[in-house]
Structure 1
Amino acid sequence: MSTKDYLEKDYYKVLGVPKDAPAADIKKAYRKLARQYHPDANKGDAAAEEKFKEISEAYDVLSDDKRRKEYDEARSLFGGGFRGNNPAGGFPFDLGDLLGNTGGGAGGLGDILGGIFNRGRTGTTQTTPGRRGADVETEATITFMQSIDGVTIPLRMTSEHPCRACAGTGAKTGTTPRVCPNCSGTGQVSRNQGGFAFSEPCRECKGRGLVVDEPCPTCHGSGRAASTRTLQARIPSGVRDGMRIRLKGKGAPGERGGPAGDLYVVVHVRPHRIFGRDGDNLTVTVPVTYPEAVLGADIKVPVLGGMPVTVKLPAGSANGRTLRVRGKGAPRKDATRGDLLVTFEVAVPTKLSEAASAALEKYRDATADHDVRGELLEAAKGEG
């Protein structure tokens, strides 16, 4: 259950029992309401179903002694919870800001309530959490063969790192930063509002905890400077064109001890002159002669990065027939490989010798009674 639930929902009111009700009364009230609003007794009634969920949620909290105690402590701390955008007798507020749900990190009410709802996790509260470094994206172009076998490539990256001139302090050489007198070096200050104390980044030092009187001329006091580095990136085997590879922790470095971001490499694969790709399968087109297609033949087929294999082309194979060679495709994640899809195309010669022309003429005369287009023309006369 979220912190917001503890603050906004009155589970005693949901079950219709007083706050000091014993466990037996809570159980009795729950059973009565559960029978009344159970979905089986109210089929098709969305309101009853929602009420049943609310009743079950309330009972889950109040029937557990530990959770009930935490719930009572929270509501006691905030006078029974917040109502709308103006708590009774209080000031206008945004509940999302109070709960720390604006994405800004530490400092929200969720941190204040951590001791109530997250007991046993930690004994201290981190006042200046480290900030994770930014993610970085780059591109790399590899060959078709490298995409199949995998390759390690160098990547030249430019990003922000601690300034070498001042070793990341932001202070001019020969000087040192001083502890911020406003926040005593914590980087956080407390702000009182409506009887509550909230932590926020110190405006004097911008959350660093240090003040630079004489800024470094290289980084102008930021402690960061652009630097170029070369790293080795491993592109896994079987990668496809346009695939995005994530290299964890290879992005921009973090701040205040925070982890580095990630590096994303968008891979571009140069097309191969002979082979193509269809998912985990490789494709290749192999020319054959007309007699080989008609009579059948053993055809040598190229394999990417290996010796050719022999494929038996059955007699009477039509132009464009595709056969499969198992295990000669791209590698998969489970260490198996796809297949090689071989498409056979009849190569029509542009020049013939006299003997070849005479042989084809004899073949034509011998098959003159076989009309290959007769069925097509006859079908065209019909209605479809």
Structure 2
Amino acid sequence: MSKRDYYEVLGINRKADQKEIKQAYRRLAQKYHPDRNPNDKQAEKSFREISEAYEILSVKEKRNAYDQFGHSGIDGSQTNNNFNTGFTDIFGDVFGDIFGNNKNSNTPQRGSDLRYNLNIKLEEAIYGTQLNINVKKLVKCNRCNGNRSEPGYKNKYCPSCKGLGQIRMHQGFFSIQQTCHNCNGNGEIIEKYCIKCNGEGRINDKKKLSIKIPHGVDNGDRIRIIGEGEGGINGGKSGDLYVQLSIKPHKIFTREGKNLYCEIPINFVDAALGGILEVTTLEGNKVQLKIPAETQTGKQFRIKGKGVKSIRSNYPGDLMCKVIIETPINLNKNQKELLRKFKNSIDNNVI
């Protein structure tokens, strides 16, 4: 017997996205659910059919195989021909959203942790700062206070398990007791979901937070802010917010561990004869650096204690200054003549 097209079973077109597939399944599952159609063989058959269609179309790899090869592209291992097993698997996925595993569950659930990427300046990383950020997240619904039920409505007595939270199923000579899927073991179901959050218990919101950046943080460090992740459900705790730090490149200084690095341009006269240079540190202070005679370009000098005091150490690193000798430009006639004389004097000294 040939199978019906899965898209036809769910009443959707072949370009439907996952949200549309899920919505179609929820609608049909509610209609043909065995608990709502006891002893109805046709409803049971329809439910098995839509469950199989959803099982294939809700998984990207299975859907691609079906789109390309049809039913022949789905082997026996990809579909669940056993009704009871497939029924349980799907209950744990989307079907639970309708009949118990999620929306009807009164079990407190912790909110998810969130990650926020924050770019900061090198100065802010080294000396610390206070910054404001705006975080988009799910927060407790202020209409139902997170309990998912529309104000003014009380939870209903579950008709499937008669308030016991357990149901007994008969399979041949055996009788099995299991958690009621209609109320997820609570013995009651929500009569009407909150119209603001659609029974989710949470709504989207944007919150402004003030973040303290301690001194000495490095690229890739994370700051944990407890309780500022997504809000919990049914009184569950909120998750945490992790602020991931990225340090913007500086136009003068680079950082390696606790040391700072920079390049210092000097003229060739100071490089040849030596002298005292004035170096501006990252914090804006002026320090003197002694350059010995006959210094070559690329030579590196250390200024102690002018690097970074890391978050893990009280001892600061150093400022490493690399000398770059600059060739003079825009020389006047007299300067060029002096350089020629200097060159001749050097050439005459060459043996």
TM-score where L is the length of structure 2: 0.60
Amino acid at match of 2:110: R
2:344 to 352, 358, 365: 365
Structure 2 unmatched runs, 5+:
1-105
Percent of aligned pairs sharing the same letter: 31
Q: Give the distance between the partners of 1:244 and 1:272, measured in 2 at CA.
A: 21
Q: Give the distance between the partners of 1:183 and 1:369, measured in 2 at CA.
A: 109
2:207 aligned counterpart, secondary structure: strand
Amino acid at match of 2:255: R
Amino acid at match of 2:306: K
Partner of 1:341: 320
Q: Contact 2:147 / 2:233 at 8 angstroms: preserved in 1?
A: no
Indicate how the Cα distance of structure 1 residues 349 and 210 shifts in structure 2: closer, same or farther if over 3 A, else same.
Answer: farther
Q: Give the distance between the partners of 1:185 and 1:337, measured in 2 at CA.
A: 67
Q: Contact 1:328 / 1:338 at 8 angstroms: preserved in 2?
A: yes
Indicate how the Cα distance of structure 1 residues 348 and 203 shifts in structure 2: closer, same or farther if over 3 A, else same.
Answer: same
Partner of 2:239: 261
1:147 aligned counterpart, secondary structure: helix
Amino acid at match of 1:139: N
The reply to whether residue 168 of structure 1 matches residue 146 of structure 2 is: yes
Structure 1 unmatched runs, 5+:
1-127, 375-384
Encode CA deviations 1:168-196: one digit per residue, 9 max, x unaligned.
Answer: 2222232233465778989x75989xx9x
Partner of 1:81: none
Partner of 1:213: 191
Q: Give the distance between the partners of 2:162 and 2:277, measured in 1 at CA.
A: 82
Give the CA deviation at 1:279. Answer: 2.3
Q: Give the distance between the partners of 2:215 and 2:163, measured in 1 at CA.
A: 49
The reply to whether residue 232 of structure 1 matches residue 188 of structure 2 is: no
Indicate how the Cα distance of structure 1 residues 325 and 331 shifts in structure 2: closer, same or farther if over 3 A, else same.
Answer: same
Q: Give the distance between the partners of 2:284 and 2:151, measured in 1 at CA.
A: 61
Amino acid at match of 1:279: G
Indicate how the Cα distance of structure 1 residues 153 and 208 shifts in structure 2: closer, same or farther if over 3 A, else same.
Answer: farther
Q: Give the distance between the partners of 1:190 and 1:315, measured in 2 at CA.
A: 93
Q: Contact 1:171 / 1:221 at 8 angstroms: preserved in 2?
A: yes
2:285 aligned counterpart, secondary structure: strand
Give the CA deviation at 1:283. Answer: 1.4
Give the CA deviation at 1:235. Answer: 2.3
Q: Give the distance between the partners of 1:191 and 1:313, measured in 2 at CA.
A: 90
1:368 aligned counterpart, secondary structure: helix
1:283 aligned counterpart, secondary structure: strand
Q: Give the distance between the partners of 1:232 and 1:218, measured in 2 at CA.
A: 29
Q: Contact 1:245 / 1:266 at 8 angstroms: preserved in 2?
A: yes
Taking only aligned residues, the RMSD between alpha carbons, in angstroms, comes to 3.4
2:227 aligned counterpart, secondary structure: coil
Q: Which has the higher contact order (CA 8 A, sep 6+)?
A: 2
Rg comparison, structure with higher value: 1
1:152 to 123, 127, 130: 130
1:357 aligned counterpart, secondary structure: helix
For residues 41-80 of structure 1, the aligned pairs below 5 Å read: none
Amino acid at match of 2:213: I
